Amino acid sequence: MPAMNEDVTRQIEQFLYREARLLDERRFHEWLELLTDDVHYWMAGRTNRYPKRSKAIAILDPDRYVEDDTTREDELAILDEDKQTLSARVARLDTGMAWAEDPPSRTRHLVTNIEVEPGDAAHEVTVHSNFLAYRSRAETEQDFYVGARKDVLRRVAGAWKIAGRKIILDQNVLLAKNVSIFF
Amino acid sequence: MPCNWKFPAENFGGDSYHVQWSHLSAVTTNFSSGAATKPETTGSLVSPGNGHVLICFGPNDVADPPTPEILEYEKQIRPEVEKRLGPRLGRVNPIVGTAFPNFSMLRATSRTFRVWHPRGPDKTEVWSWVYTDKAAPPHVKEAIRLAGVRGFSPSGTFEQDDMDNWQECTRTCRGTVSRRMSVNTQMGLGHERFDDELGAWASDFRMSESNHRQFYGRWAQLMRADSWADLPRANGSGGNGHAGHE
């Protein structure tokens, strides 16, 4: 893995921290501006799977057995969005009738374990990070969304933008009643 | 979800009047066709008995997910659908419903099956599937998959608000004053009839609690009966000669 320029790593860290603050301050229109027009924003599901070597089960057809426990891109997901649908979700929040967020959730996004790697294209980097998003709502409701993100960040007209985000949540059965916040 | 399982089951089978208030935000931002909020939309709440409940639109009301690929596909297959279903197609256009007690289906806005698993007091675990026609081309299947994720899923622009309703309904029922009273499901009382052609109970108007009465009537029969032999075979409204079929 070639070492990344430290300036770039620092820029990406600050970018992700600022993004988290925009989400927590509910500045969703400014957040949308951080996304490229061709963004793919995806939160996969998780399944319970035995590893191939497990003695607990007999795998009849090892060639067909999938060890990866995240849902594939053509399967159901918790979120599978593009710029247009994310914008529509934000527009929905602005109607004053989006009841899952009215009164709004209080959120705190903690972003850690940031690793920056060269991307597949020039002007792009691949960024790994972990997150803990705490959501408190109404009087005593609370949820913890904990997971990892793999982002593609692209340099557009001198600024970093998110061109892709894959979000892996570390739960099989989603324990929160819904997902009405962004990550 | 922090709710009693009966709220989502009832919601999918009878709650035709929550859309206009609960879901207007998703309707006005184009996550659905908006048929439920249009005054000209017709329809009826239909129950064949034994607690099964369907919300139906009129035969020409379109409530498919508002994606061009899906609408175009539905138009293409319409002649075959008419051929296969025959005159039944003009009689009933179910868009959402519950097979008693906890299996629900949806055709409008998204295409999904649900099982509402009771997981103890005030706890429900949801299993959810998106279904498509096996014969549909890949781009139509993809459009239906995405309509499911974006409309009816944990993050669904419709369903995230439903979950709040189910949770708050459950909480409200736990209140000291609420527990002294019976639930009021009188909407449209006396404005339903047994439709011989349908072989089912049907409300006169598409806003009614006739299906709530069917659903909870059957549930109450089951809870009161000591054995299967004691269980009336008629549906919860009782007293109708047609309702004895299984």
Segment A89-116 mean pLDDT: 97
For residue A5, what are the contacts with CB-CB under 8 A and spacing of at least 6?
none
Contact B40, A107 (CB under 8 A): no
Three-point CA angle B209, B211, B216, nearest 5°: 95
Residue to test with chain A: of B29, B123, B169, B171, most A Cβ within 10 A: B29
Retrieve residue B22's tokens. Answer: 């609960």
Tell me which DSSP letter residue B231 carries. S
Mapped onto helix, strand or coil, the DSSP state of residue B91 is: helix
Is-contact B199 B40, C-beta < 8 A?
no
What's the ipTM? 0.93
Residues B31 and B153: beta-carbon distance below 8 Å: no
Residue-level pLDDT at A1: 60
Give the distance, in angstroms, between the CA of residue A134 and the centroid of all CA atoms in the same chain.
14
115-134 of B, contacting A, C-beta below 8 A = 125, 128-130
Q: Does A92 touch chain B (CB under 8 A)?
A: yes
Q: Record the tokens describing residue A161, joined without a space.
A: 């933008």
Q: What is the Cα–Cα distance from A171 to B76, expressed in whole angstroms?
A: 41
Can you name the residues that pair with B49 across neighbouring β-strands? B52
pLDDT over 90, % of chain A: 87
- Report d(CA B36, CA B15) in Å as an integer: 11
Alpha-carbon distance values, B225 to B65, B113, B235 (Å): 42, 29, 14
Confidence at A145, pLDDT banded by 50, 70, 90 = very high
Residue A43 near chain B (CB below 8 Å): yes
Residues 6+ apart with CB under 8 A from B78: none
The Cα–Cα gap between B226 and B59 comes to 42
**Cβ pair B157:A173 closer than 8 A:** no
Domain boundaries, chain A: 6-49+56-169
Which residues of chain B fall below pLDDT 70? 234-246
Residues shown for chain A: 183
pLDDT of residue B235: 53
Mean confidence (pLDDT) of chain A: 95
Pairing of strands A35-43, A159-169: parallel
Residue B72 has φ and ψ, to the nearest 5°, of -65, -45
Report the residue from A43, A78, A92 with minimal CB separation from B26: A92
Q: Is A180 in Cβ contact with B145 (below 8 Å)? A: no
Instruction: Note whether A180 and A101 are within 8 A (CB).
Output: yes
pLDDT in tens, B22-45: 999 999 998 998 888 888 999 999
Q: Which of A106, A176, A120, A179 is nearest to A153 (CA)?
A: A120
Predicted structure pTM score: 0.93
State the average pLDDT over residues A72-96.
97
The predicted structure's pLDDT at residue A128: 98
Count of C-beta atoms within a 10 Å radius of residue B101: 17
Q: Which residue has the tokens 């072989």?
A: B199
A12-24 confidence digits (pLDDT tens): 999 999 999 999 9
Interface of B with A in 32-91 (CB under 8 A): none
CB A78 within 8 A of CB A44: yes
The per-residue pLDDT for B234 is: 60
Give the closest residue to B19 by CA, choosing from B148, B108, B127: B108
Q: Quick one: fold of A6-49+56-169?
A: Nuclear Transport Factor 2; Chain: A, (3.10.450)
> Cα–Cα distance between A128 and A113 in angstroms, integer?
7
d(CA A129, CA A148): 6
| Domains in chain B, CATH or no CATH each | 6-239 (3.90.380.10)
More confident residue, A107 or B33: A107
Residue B238 zone, left/alpha/beta (φ > 0; ψ -120 to 50; rest): left
What residues have CB less than 8 Å from B49, skipping those under 6 apart?
A: B200, B201, B214, B234, B235, B243, B245
Nearest partner of B54 among B62, B41, B43, B63, judged by Cα: B43
